[in-house]
Structure 1
Amino acid sequence: MPLFDRLRAIPALQLDVALTALVLVVQLWPLLSSARESLSWWGYAVVLAATVPLMWRRRAPVVTLIVILGAVALYDLSDRVAAQPVWYGALVAMYSAAAYASRWPRVIALAMATVGGLAFTGSSDTAVRGVVLFVAAYAVGRAAAVSRSHAAALEERAAQLQRERRIEAERAVERERARIARDMHDILAHAVSLMVVQAEAGPVVVRSDPDRAEATFDAIAASGRDAMTQLRRLLGVLKEGEGQRAPQPTIADLPGLTDQVANPGLAVNYVVTGTPVPLPGDVDVAAYRVTQEALTNIVKHSGATRADIRLDWRDDELMIHITDDGKGASRALPRGGNGLIGIRERAAACHGTASAGPRSDGPGFEVVVRLPLGVAA
């Protein structure tokens, strides 16, 4: 660990006590080592007064500087003191005032120290040397304050970035959970609806057309197997260490979806106009899922005998129209239901739009989804 980092790790009070003790030893040493036997106690008292206040240099830097400067000015009142400068404590106090005091108090303190040094020091050389030392201590203190402020700003910025990354990660988890919930809703609602419709029609078909009964029960089994396959694929996303995952259904699977939905009581017509182009992965999956959800609602709510799916490929967008001839808005696709919400959310996630309502050209219901085209990944 670098020396500066080690010093920063020391509690401030312990560091100030150690610094005060060091300065006190240095300034008392000439008095203690002097061969003269008649030194006055005055020198010891002044050194103590000019050093001990350093323990408060962070909490009251300007007051500490003023007290120490006042004590230093009294050192030469006695002739029986060691010939030494007693500026060490004052220089540390000046550094502390520059580093910890607010702007105007520290500027006033610097001015007082400069004027006092020039006015009350007997030798001009000593006065100039003292002023230079005080200005240098002030400059070092300001540099330390700026460095400390810059480091604090960097730490705060790093903490802010860490918080933003954590929030974004949480949002990504929420989006993924919402996506998985929508997929599970689409898969289960579609499969269960088809199985219920086919199962209800099964007894009728058995009595009226035994040859079609086998196809009806095959359709029920196929719907169940397809739902299980998609659920395994979806739940595999939640497992750690999962190997290669099977792709999600895309717009290319819509013909198979329409064949799966069609039954003796519901004819499904699938039409494509325009020139198909490759789609980005999320748009490709969304096109399949919104169509699946619309067909599921037709099977569950509309009582329709016919459903039409039209994909209209345009220059910059794909329009998906799903219509039926059922009972209309009174039963088909409730506005507050999960189905319509899921369709709108999937379209919005791809920067598209979705609307639903009664058909304007006759009985029934229609869902219109607009998905912008883009360059496929």
Structure 2
Amino acid sequence: MAPLPISAALRSRVRAFPPLTLDVALVLLVMVVQLWPFFSRQNPAGPPWHWWGYLVVTASALPLLGRRRAPVVALLASLVATGSYDLFGDVPAQPIWYGALVATYTVAVRSAHRPRIVVLMITVGGSMVISSSETALRSGVMFIAAYAVGRAFAASRAHAEALRERAERLEHERRLEADRAAVRERSRIARDMHDILSHAVSVMVVQAEAGPIALTASPARAEAAFDAIASAGRDAMVQLRRILDLLKDDDGARSPQPTLVELPALVEQTSGTGLALTYDVRGEPVPLPPDVEVAAYRIIQEAITNTVKHSGAHSADLRLAWQDDTLMIDIIDDGRGSASSLPSGGNGLIGIRERTTACGGTVSAGPRTDASGFQVRVRLPLTPRGATV
């Protein structure tokens, strides 16, 4: 049950005061209540009440000023004072000693287990020994009740502290996960931008180098080369726009990521560089998880870009084999090494490995064993990593 608004507001106002101020107010309140019998009753013997009673009442309440720092000492000092109350007869009866009860409550809240039990036994046992049966029973019940209330408050406060710490831990973990997700997203965007620009620039440079040569010998071929440059540039702009859309804060519609359906267009664009690229699909294609499909497209794009930039190949084969639970991707060329003036960024195969590993797949890359050339083989699972069937 949630606390009432008035009660919560009152507790909040009380906690706003310094602890010493609260303890001074508590001491004054206990003294007023404890001294009330001195003013509300008259001494049957006639003379005023003995000054000893006033002194004992004050002495029983003052130890509460140190109850937060030394609760056991405060309780024992209050008990010693109240035990000497009846040394003189001309004092009014005191049915309840509030200072000792408050000190018992504080011991239950603030002290360790062993001191709490020892003090509880002393207070209850002492009441049984030095008081009459009626007074002993009443005092014992009150001390046990004060102790129980203190332990209930301590348990409630410990539970609230545990909940607060758990909430802080969860919030900390949430922030860490958000930071990790941001790092992963930045890495993914960086890989995508690398793949897009690397492929487009490679196609454009190859065509630009071939254009002047073809301009005099074959104007039609030169025109096709310049068309390929323009097409590659436009395609790069479209894909970069997709990436930049992901960085926007608005929730508007965003262009989809590339999929395997767009591979024929990629093959056609690459063939315009002079590389005879064939595309072969075996098996029955099945829907892929979005992250796996984007990764597959980017892996193929990067492998083809590497072939154009570094292999000096005349022909290459792109093969997709759909199996029961796996998509096999092979990019094979007949190159003998780099014949291009394009610089190497050194991130191609690294990006391919990172994307493959992120999808739970495997990759191998190296020279062909059956002929000259280079081969990249990628195995991607058809179900997301960690998914159960």
TM-score (norm 2): 0.91
> 1:179: how far off?
1.0
> 1:2: how far off?
4.8
The structure-2 alpha-carbon separation of the partners of 1:329 and 1:148, relative to structure 1 and needing over 3 Å to count, comes to farther
> 1:269: how far off?
1.0
Deviation string, structure 1 residues 271-319 (Cα, Å, up to 9, x no partner): 1111111111111111110000111111111111111110011000101
Contact 1:353/1:369, CA 8 A, preserved across alignment: yes
Q: 2:55 corresponds to which residue?
A: 45
Q: For residue 285 of structure 1, give the secondary structure of its aligned residue in structure 2.
A: helix
Q: 2:201 corresponds to which residue?
A: 192
Contact 1:194/1:261, CA 8 A, preserved across alignment: yes
The structure-2 alpha-carbon separation of the partners of 1:83 and 1:330, relative to structure 1 and needing over 3 Å to count, comes to farther
Paired letter, 1:359? R
Which of 142-151 and 76-85 deviates more?
Answer: 76-85
Of the candidates 212, 216, 224, which is equivalent to residue 233 of structure 2? 224
Of the candidates 367, 373, 377, which is equivalent to residue 376 of structure 2? 367
In 2, the alpha carbon distance for the partners of 1:340 and 1:9 equals 63
In 1, the alpha carbon distance for the partners of 2:212 and 2:231 equals 18
Paired letter, 2:289? P
Is 1:295 aligned with 2:267? no
Paired letter, 2:317? D
Contact 1:65/1:94, CA 8 A, preserved across alignment: yes
Q: For residue 280 of structure 2, give the secondary structure of its aligned residue in structure 1.
A: strand
Q: 1:132 corresponds to which residue?
A: 141
Is 1:65 aligned with 2:72? no
Q: 2:31 corresponds to which residue?
A: 24
Counting only pairs closer than 5 Å after superposition, residues 154-303 of structure 1 correspond to structure 2 as 154-263=163-272, 265-303=274-312
Paired letter, 2:36? W
In 2, the alpha carbon distance for the partners of 1:329 and 1:194 equals 15
Contact 1:236/1:242, CA 8 A, preserved across alignment: no
Which of 151-160 and 260-269 deviates more?
Answer: 260-269
Which of 292-301 and 257-266 deviates more?
Answer: 257-266
> 1:329: how far off?
9.7
The structure-2 alpha-carbon separation of the partners of 1:371 and 1:10, relative to structure 1 and needing over 3 Å to count, comes to farther
Q: What RMSD in Å do the two structures reach over aligned CA positions?
A: 2.2
In 2, the alpha carbon distance for the partners of 1:268 and 1:230 equals 22
Deviation string, structure 1 residues 232-273 (Cα, Å, up to 9, x no partner): 121011112252111111111111101101136311111111
Of the candidates 4, 7, 26, which is equivalent to residue 3 of structure 1? 7
In 2, the alpha carbon distance for the partners of 1:72 and 1:85 equals 12
In 2, the alpha carbon distance for the partners of 1:116 and 1:229 equals 88
Deviation string, structure 1 residues 198-255 (Cα, Å, up to 9, x no partner): 1001111112222111111000000001101111121011112252111111111111
Contact 1:258/1:268, CA 8 A, preserved across alignment: yes
Q: 1:78 corresponds to which residue?
A: 88
Q: 1:96 corresponds to which residue?
A: 106
Paired letter, 1:21? L
> 1:25: how far off?
1.3
In 2, the alpha carbon distance for the partners of 1:85 and 1:48 equals 16
Contact 1:42/1:78, CA 8 A, preserved across alignment: yes
Contact 1:114/1:134, CA 8 A, preserved across alignment: yes
Q: For residue 321 of structure 2, give the secondary structure of its aligned residue in structure 1.
A: strand
Q: For residue 281 of structure 2, give the secondary structure of its aligned residue in structure 1.
A: strand
Paired letter, 1:39? W
Contact 2:309/2:338, CA 8 A, preserved across alignment: no
Q: For residue 372 of structure 2, give the secondary structure of its aligned residue in structure 1.
A: coil
Paired letter, 2:182? V
Paired letter, 1:24? M
The structure-2 alpha-carbon separation of the partners of 1:242 and 1:225, relative to structure 1 and needing over 3 Å to count, comes to farther
In 2, the alpha carbon distance for the partners of 1:352 and 1:64 equals 69
Matched residues, number: 373
Deviation string, structure 1 residues 68-121 (Cα, Å, up to 9, x no partner): 111110111111222223511111111111111000001000111111111111
TM-score (norm 1): 0.94
> 1:190: how far off?
0.7
